[in-house]
Chain A
């Protein structure tokens, strides 16, 4: 079955960068896009951006444009999401999801908690 497994929790200092991975299995990785969504503690889901794994094209939310980079390693069936210039407000659970070529997110990875603290 389609499964996404994300990297573990990270603690970073303000100003640093973090790179979260998302390893896919159970389908042909290049067939579907990978989406990234974050959720600050007690807050709503927030769409960050996505990558067309087949051609490498990306699209980012205006809020994260310039500070977030989404990439893939197709040989490893893994997507990556890097956030630079971290600040305390970036403390959140970061989720990846695939979209089965539709306008929805399913399934989701288990999430990766990123804590930004001095």
Chain B
């Protein structure tokens, strides 16, 4: 199972928006509505930010959003804040009760 492809890094100034892509295949991202996104600060455990493509868990601000088109899912962070600087990983259900994570993206707030 190959990792989903994410850009290595994205950056933006405070208040701007950034979008992270997550490209898979029809066997994972394109085949199911089960894409989730995780934020990970250095030395910390990952934190769920989006599940089922575009649903936000309680406590995640509405400036965080998710979407999917074909084999590519996206995470958008609007109104970028210093606290958003972290690594972000997508994850997709890949059939037969298996999962695959993305390669990870470092978000830098300039």
A-B complex is real? yes
Interface of A, helix, strand, loop or mixed by DSSP: loop
Are B45 and A95 in contact, CB atoms less than 8 angstroms apart?
yes
Tell me whether B47 is interfacial, beta carbon within 8 Å. yes
Q: How many residues of B contact A (CB 8 A)?
A: 26
Are A47 and B48 in contact, CB atoms less than 8 angstroms apart?
no
Residues of B bordering A, CB below 8 Å: 1, 3, 32, 34, 36, 38, 40, 45-48, 51-52, 57, 89, 91, 93, 96-104
Tell me whether A108 is interfacial, beta carbon within 8 Å. yes
A105-B93 in contact given A44-B103, A61-B98 (Cβ < 8 Å): no
A44-B101 in contact given A103-B36, A104-B51, A108-B46 (Cβ < 8 Å): yes
Q: Note all chain A residues with C-beta closer than 8 A to B104.
A: 44-45
Are B91 and A105 in contact, CB atoms less than 8 angstroms apart?
yes
Out of A46, A50, A95, A103, name the residue touching B46 (CB < 8 Å).
A95
